[in-house]
Structure 1
Amino acid sequence: MSFRRGVVRQSKFRHVFAQAWKAEHCIDDVRVSRVTWDSPLCAVNPKFIAVIIEAGGGGAFLVVPLNKSGRIDQSSPTVCGHAAPVLDIQWCPHDDNIIASASEDCTVKVWHIPDGGLTAPLTDAAVTLEGHSKRVGIVAWHPTALNILLTAGCDNLMCVWDVGTGELVYQLSDSHPDMIYSVCWNKDGSAICTVCKDKALRVIDPRRGTVLKVREKVHDGTRPMRAVFLTDGKILTTGFSRMSERQVALWDTKDLSEPMAVQEMDTSNGVLQPYYDPDTNMVYLCGKGDCTIRYFEVTDESPYLHFLSLYSSKEPQRGSGFLSKRGVDVNKCEIARFYKLHERKVEPISMTVPRKSDLFQGDLYPDTASMEPSLLAEEWIAGQDASPLLISLSGGYSAPTSKHRDTIRGKPRVASQDSGATQPPVGVTTTTSTREPEAEVVPQPKVAKEVDGTERPKREDDVLNELLAEMKALRAVVLAQSQRIELLERQLARIEDGDV
């Protein structure tokens, strides 16, 4: 009788472990919203954490610096300009001080948060977008084009806005016969995927307003679903089976007739919110009311969707925020960080890959999306597409200083409250479309000092780290330049073909 030795799948993420931060690093006394809308109620970037909170007589959300911990005073200032509860919030990927909020008052507002956080209640939005006739439950910034924001409401409408001018540039009114549950852009922002109350998954070109692909009954259950685009164009969905079991499924957009993979999990009622990390190709699933966060790795090999592990705790989550990769601690091999919302507390949870070396682990941190947009709003509206510009995380990420960024970006171009004067757009680049991409400045390692303050000679490790950091920076510049050249070549070809 012969036995086959089991083959263990090789993956650097097999041993990812999750760990909650100590109590002194949590944020306490946060009155998390009790709104029944199935949104994460939280948004995080490397500067701030924003949480939708209970507010009497309107809608409000709290914004505090990311390094804030301890008790939040009940008199702390909030963003409180909505006339009804806030349902969804999302930070702009191209400016860490800009956040959009959607509300039951049928409006979407875009806010500018000052460095250091709020010192007084913020009631006047930089831009107010009015185009929905019912409550607005979804906001989604374009991943690569500056100032493009998509919104979806309970009027079954999807609107695409140029936030810089406040204009409604596209309105998709015939794509969905019922309530839209979720919207996600693909990698370069040329298409979106949606799931709707009619149980269908759709791939849509928002500029033409056409449905490119549709799959009826992605999940048989009647509870809400979610969908996210993956880097390679596949789509991951979460939903419920006919027997009310929670499911996760992977779909190939080239052929939606059958899912590539389906996994059933449990019979909990919470809608599973998928968080996708394109750098590691990992998906994290957590639902309201759950005490767990499950994580999977998506690969090109069957069964395609590999369950890695789950983080479990005693207290259920009211919502959750997912920190963008620019904010993780690369020195501790942290590949993801969640902010779990309790009833009155925000608790950070780190996802870490155990490594013995203190050196930068390049295989865990491929170049990630930078804050620099690939396109201007008008370029995307004109039909151009571009992949995200990338930066290295070697040496830790450092955002461009505000002084430097102010030379290429202005303030919102919106009518002021008391006059018809206009200002330049939120984050709009003031140079021409033929501008060269910025070279990303990678912080150099600090020179170590002895106890008496004298500088210690550099060790071989320090020199190696500096060389690696410089190589990463140069590679990022070359990549950005090649992407720009490719974009200009496509533009030239369209001009020669008479399309422009």
Structure 2
Amino acid sequence: MFRRVVRASKFRHVFGQALKNDQCYDDIRVSRVTWDSSFCAVNPKFVAIIIEASGGGAFLVLPLNKSGRIDKAYPTVCGHTGPVLDIDWCPHNDQVIASGSEDCTVMVWQIPENGLVTGLSEPVVVLEGHSKRVGIITWHPTARNVLLSAGCDNLIIIWNVGTGEAMIQLEDMHPDVIFSACWNRNGSLICTACKDKTIRVIDPRKEEIVGEKEKAHEGARPMRAIFLSDGNVFTTGFSRMSERQLALWNPQAMDEAISVHEMDTSNGVLLPFYDPDTNVVYLCGKGDSSIRYFEITDEAPFVHYLNTFTTKEPQRGMGYMPKRGLDVNKCEIARSRTKWGSSWPELSPYKRINSRPCQPELCTMQFYKLHERKCEPIIMTVPRKSDLFQDDLYPDTAGPDCAIEAEDWFEGKNGEPILISLKNGYVPGKNRDLKVVKKNILDNKLSKNTEKRGPANKSASPTPSRKNEAKLDEVLKEIKSLKDLVSSQEKRIIQLEEQMSKIAI
């Protein structure tokens, strides 16, 4: 258990504030599917929420300023034939979102700039390659149009969304269901947590495991693993005695953890959300009513407890806003919303409450907590004496520009995140439309073959067509025999039913 030791930290007084009911998103039928994903994804323009839907899977995409009661007829993204399990916004385009579903497909969608007016059922591209449901979707942090998906077929596929191709397939690395997958800071490595209780660090382009730890957490409940900005891996899981644990690992030496801590005996899976700019990890347990946050440092015990935010209602999922979506130029008391483009009334940083001057508060993180029928924004704030821009709370953060193109990354190049300053506020640029140019692999092969073959070999081309015709005849004969068998069985069923009716009389 964590000892509540008072230590010097600029985040020691971080506290959470839930917004009022009229600033929440109400009357939303949050998905009841039994899958431990966050069910929510947020960016500076939209909040996306996986919902219950009849006849397939769907999710809502709401502009951030559309709070209040959401009409039941509000348009949805509804192209999947099975329940949606995971969604993720593209970090380089605020109008592009990917979704994974029980129908074994990954779909990528382009949301109109001002939100949905009618239902969206036609994705930009459908990515097919999994044989079982797809429960994990995550975009590459620095390369454009690179998407990772992991399914219950124990397979990880890395796609070039720009061409619709599956470029890398990581097979035979995971003997059981994959619980989580996460890129490192520059997207050169991924870390995974598997049902076999093993944490793996994988170089996807070399298709090899560069580090692994068996029985990282010995409990049977699901684990999670994420990369930190310094390259270490942070994990959550359960002990053999069903205590919830968190641990810190060095991928270069995973024989023993840098730090392991027991928390409590609750059975909710801990979802970690990491702020690389401040090195703070927020833990949200599914079914819990609290958010715990910890600071990661270089000094023992390396993982330092900061505080806990608690509400009355349990959380069914959680989304968090990227740092560039926060309005860092406003120092407000009882801030009602912290996002770009908000139109909430300005509050003086020195407004008096009960005749006492109040301290300005700076938002460091904004969450979107899912209830059974509501999405509730929660802001994490740090009290400060000055209302000036705070460089230590808002260092340069990852912007929307990609460092490299997909083709460069697949060829072996890496790119660090392109950072932007938040001092003058983040102003979103115009997002370009996602265009998918599918390569016709057959045409390429045919052109290569025709180049190799001379004119004398052209007469050999009818041979494959004759073989195809023979195969087609075989298939048609088999179909005919099966139809005959079905019709004969139907006749027999009718005869038996007539005999039954006579016996009953």
Q: What TM-score do the two structures reach when normalised by structure 2? A: 0.79
Supply the AA of the counterpart residue of 2:211: K
Question: 1:370 — aligned with what?
Answer: 399
Residue 417 of structure 2 is aligned to residue 388 of structure 1 = yes
Supply the AA of the counterpart residue of 2:412: G
- For residues 284-323 of structure 1, the aligned pairs below 5 Å read 284-323=282-321
Higher mean displacement: 246-255 or 52-61:
246-255
Question: 2:124 — aligned with what?
Answer: 126
CA distance in 2, matches of 1:379, 1:284: 33
* Structure 1 residues 276-306: Cα deviation after superposition (integer angstroms, max 9, x where no partner): 1000000000111100000000000000000
Identity, % of aligned pairs? 64
Residue 385 of structure 2 is aligned to residue 356 of structure 1 = yes
Structure 1 runs, 4 residues or longer, greater than 6 Å off: none
SS of the aligned residue for 2:408 comes to helix
Structure 1 position 328, deviation (Å): 1.4
CA 1:97–1:7 in 2, change beyond 3 Å: closer, same or farther? closer
- Structure 2 counterpart of 1:413, from 411, 422, 436: 436
Question: 1:478 — aligned with what?
Answer: none
Structure 1 position 8, deviation (Å): 4.6
Q: Is the 8 A contact 2:96 2:434 kept in 1?
A: no
Supply the AA of the counterpart residue of 2:425: G
* Structure 1 residues 202-237: Cα deviation after superposition (integer angstroms, max 9, x where no partner): 000111110011111000101000000000000000
CA distance in 2, matches of 1:374, 1:414: 21
SS of the aligned residue for 1:353 comes to strand
CA distance in 1, matches of 2:72, 2:314: 24
Structure 1 position 357, deviation (Å): 1.5
CA distance in 1, matches of 2:436, 2:175: 35
Supply the AA of the counterpart residue of 1:208: K
CA distance in 2, matches of 1:144, 1:287: 29
CA distance in 2, matches of 1:221, 1:184: 21
Question: 1:215 — aligned with what?
Answer: 213
- Structure 1 counterpart of 2:159, from 133, 158, 161: 161
Q: Is the 8 A contact 2:106 2:127 kept in 1?
A: yes
Question: 1:480 — aligned with what?
Answer: none
CA distance in 2, matches of 1:329, 1:273: 25
What's the C-alpha RMSD, in Å, of the aligned pairs?
1.5
* Structure 1 residues 407-451: Cα deviation after superposition (integer angstroms, max 9, x where no partner): xxx5312569xxx9xxxxxxxxxxxxxxxxxxxxxxxxxxxxxxx
* Structure 1 residues 92-129: Cα deviation after superposition (integer angstroms, max 9, x where no partner): 00000000000000000000001111000000000100
CA distance in 2, matches of 1:149, 1:302: 36
Structure 1 position 7, deviation (Å): 8.9
- Structure 2 counterpart of 1:74, from 65, 72, 79: 72
Supply the AA of the counterpart residue of 1:53: I
- For residues 18-37 of structure 1, the aligned pairs below 5 Å read 18-37=16-35
CA distance in 2, matches of 1:63, 1:242: 40
CA distance in 1, matches of 2:371, 2:5: 40
Question: 1:228 — aligned with what?
Answer: 226
Q: Is the 8 A contact 1:126 1:414 kept in 2?
A: no
Find the structure with the greater CA-based Rg: 2
CA distance in 1, matches of 2:5, 2:82: 56
Supply the AA of the counterpart residue of 1:399: P
* Structure 1 residues 304-357: Cα deviation after superposition (integer angstroms, max 9, x where no partner): 000000001111001000111111121231110110000000000000010122
Supply the AA of the counterpart residue of 2:64: L
Question: 2:482 — aligned with what?
Answer: none
Q: Is the 8 A contact 1:33 1:53 kept in 2?
A: yes
Structure 1 position 23, deviation (Å): 1.1
Question: 1:61 — aligned with what?
Answer: 59
Structure 1 position 269, deviation (Å): 1.1
CA distance in 2, matches of 1:7, 1:142: 38
CA distance in 1, matches of 2:36, 2:311: 21
CA distance in 1, matches of 2:92, 2:301: 36
Question: 2:168 — aligned with what?
Answer: 170
In structure 1, runs of 5+ residues without a counterpart are 1-5, 421-500
CA distance in 1, matches of 2:47, 2:8: 35
Residue 264 of structure 2 is aligned to residue 266 of structure 1 = yes
Aligned residues: 406
